[in-house]
Amino acid sequence: MQQYILALDQGTTSSRAILFDRQGQVHATAQREYPQHFPQPGWVEHDALDIWNSQLACAREVLRQAGVSAEQVTGIGIANQRETTLVWDRASGAPIGRAIVWQDRRTAEACDRLRGEGKAELVQSRTGLELDAYFSATKLQWLLDHVPGARVRAERGELAFGTVDSWLVFKLCGRHVTDASNAARTMLFNIHTMRWDEDLLDLFGIPPSLLPEVVASSGAVGAADEQWFGRRIPIAGIAGDQQAATFGQACHRRGMVKNTYGTGCFMLMHAGERPAVSHNRLLSTVGWKIDGRTDYALEGSVFMGGATVQWLRDGLGIIRQSGEVEALALSVPDSGGVMLVPAFVGLGAPHWDPYARGTIVGMTRGTTAGHIARAAVEAIAYQSAELLAAMQKDADCAVSEVRADGGAARNDMLMQFQADLLKVPVIRPQVTETTALGAAYLAGLALGFWRTQEEIAAQWRVERRFEPQMTSARRDELMARWARAVEHAKSWAVPESA
């Protein structure tokens, strides 16, 4: 009987479930979008039960569509949107409020205060992260301080905190755990000692009883209850979505780079077995922990990647489906001098400006929807080009290629423009669902479905290679123009009291 690994890929705007066979090929896929909540400017929330219900429905649907029984599923791997912060009642499992999403900027001023108190160096030295509202610590602090009774209940040990992986595992099997890659994104975890950091818990006022147990990224943590799929299925792989994608892209050696073009864009370089130190405002983070060994990564985070295209669809209404953006962008030969800086929720690396806001510059009476669409697509590439430039400085090594994945990686125009700006080939693999694939590989390794990382790396295949074609002079001109546009976007929403 054919066996599969079930990957749960819980993303920012949708939940997906994918079945992978032993060759690492997609056997079946199911996907469901779920509501986004924007109660105030800069605030982004999810209903925790929407996350769970959409993910469970996808998992059941993919088995039904494929005609695969639960007996044919060797195990489950989980990849998840990172930093998004949930708190629930340990006894009832009921969330105490909506989840605060990684894009949410409500705690930017709290981070400013801590930075003013000189705490940024402590945070960076212990966690490898910037002191920023992007991460979970200040989101969790906000929930404890603003949900009535939450802090008292937390002190009594009645509540549980988790990122989305923790929430899914809790719902599936009742355990309260997270893996090292997700723990490293909370701003509460020491990536050198690989433990929750007492000084940081004190700094943010977080009771230790809230925290999940930290487990390996590849290893059995429990089994999904029989009620969900008709039999108990081992849960054996957990990783934050970007670390999972790095593993799925077979970037298993130091210096290898992947870039995921999803809701945001996330570029990771394998940094080896020791945390890298960034001098260019990138993040040093845990890649994964397997068999007692921790692999680290350098990361650059762009908050608005594919979400910029969603804005063209849902906000401006100039496309009906995201897939239409490439044709609209190609309806003009270039952007006509238009630059779109999609700082809708601030700017991530290497700027880290929570007060930047979306900006369009260079428009004339001749500007059309095509020019704006092209500027939006090109903005994704400009932001990623900034990341690679910073990454090569930090790593002190030349990058020979970038492996691309995620939904927007299917856009040929974007991939070619990206290669032109990066000055290195951009390679799209045959399987672009590498986030889910990485989660599957991590689970399969623990369960013997795949035996070694070398066996996994041998399954990686090129679908298309995009070679740089732009002259250096033209590239430099465009990057300089982009830098000018970014300066216009910065600090736009600084509070009047600042």
DSSP state for residue 316 in the 8-state scheme: I
d(Cα 298, Cα 115) in Å, to the nearest integer?
22
Going by C-beta distance under 8 Å and a sequence separation of 6 or more, which residues neighbour residue 461? 429, 430, 431
293 appears as a binding residue in the annotation: no
Q: The tokens of 16 are what? A: 């997906």
State whether the Cα torsion 106-112-114-119 is positive or negative: positive
Give the span between the Cα atoms of 331 and 350, in whole angstroms: 32
13 is annotated as contributing to ligand binding: yes
Q: Is 193 exposed, middle or buried (0-12, 13-18, 19+ CB in 10 A)?
A: exposed
Give the list of residues 6+ apart from residue 104 with CB closer than 8 angstroms, or none: 42, 43, 44, 45, 133, 139, 345
Contact in structure between 191 and 127 (CB atoms under 8 Å): yes
Classify 255 as helix, strand or coil. Answer: coil
Q: Is 310 annotated as a binding residue?
A: yes
The answer to the question of whether 433 is labelled as a binding residue is no
Is 296 known as a binding-site position? no
497, two tokens: 């009291």
Q: Annotation-wise, does 14 bind a ligand?
A: yes
Cβ atoms of residues 326 and 411 within 8 Å: yes
Which amino acid makes up residue 103?
Answer: Q
306 labelled binding-site residue = yes
- Compute and round to an integer the Cα radius of gyration of the chain: 21
Q: Please give the single-letter amino acid code of residue 73.
A: V
Q: Does 284 show up as a binding residue in the annotation?
A: no
DSSP state of 209: G
Position 165, amino acid: D
Task: Give the list of residues 6+ apart from residue 402 with CB closer than 8 angstroms, or none.
Answer: 257, 258, 259, 267, 388, 418, 422, 424, 425, 426, 427
Does 366 belong to an annotated binding site? no
29, 413, 435 from 17: Cα distances, Å: 6, 28, 11
Own/partner pairs, 317-323, CB within 8 angstroms, 24+ separation: 318/369, 318/372, 318/373, 319/373, 322/407
DSSP letter for 277, please: -
- Name the burial class of residue 492, with classes exposed (0-12), middle (13-18) and buried (19+) by CB atoms within 10 angstroms of its CB: middle
242 is in an annotated binding site: yes
Is 55 annotated to bind a ligand? Reply is no
Peptide bond into 212 cis (omega under 30): no
The answer to whether 401 is annotated as binding is no
407 is in an annotated binding site: yes
Binding positions are 12-14, 16, 82-83, 134, 241-242, 263, 306, 310, 407, 411
- Binding positions for ATP are 12-14, 263, 306, 310, 407
Q: Summarize the annotated binding site for ADP as residue ranges.
A: 12, 16, 263, 306, 407, 411
Q: Which residues are annotated as a binding site for sn-glycerol 3-phosphate?
A: 12, 82-83, 134, 241
Task: Give binding residues for glycerol as ranges.
Answer: 82-83, 134, 241-242
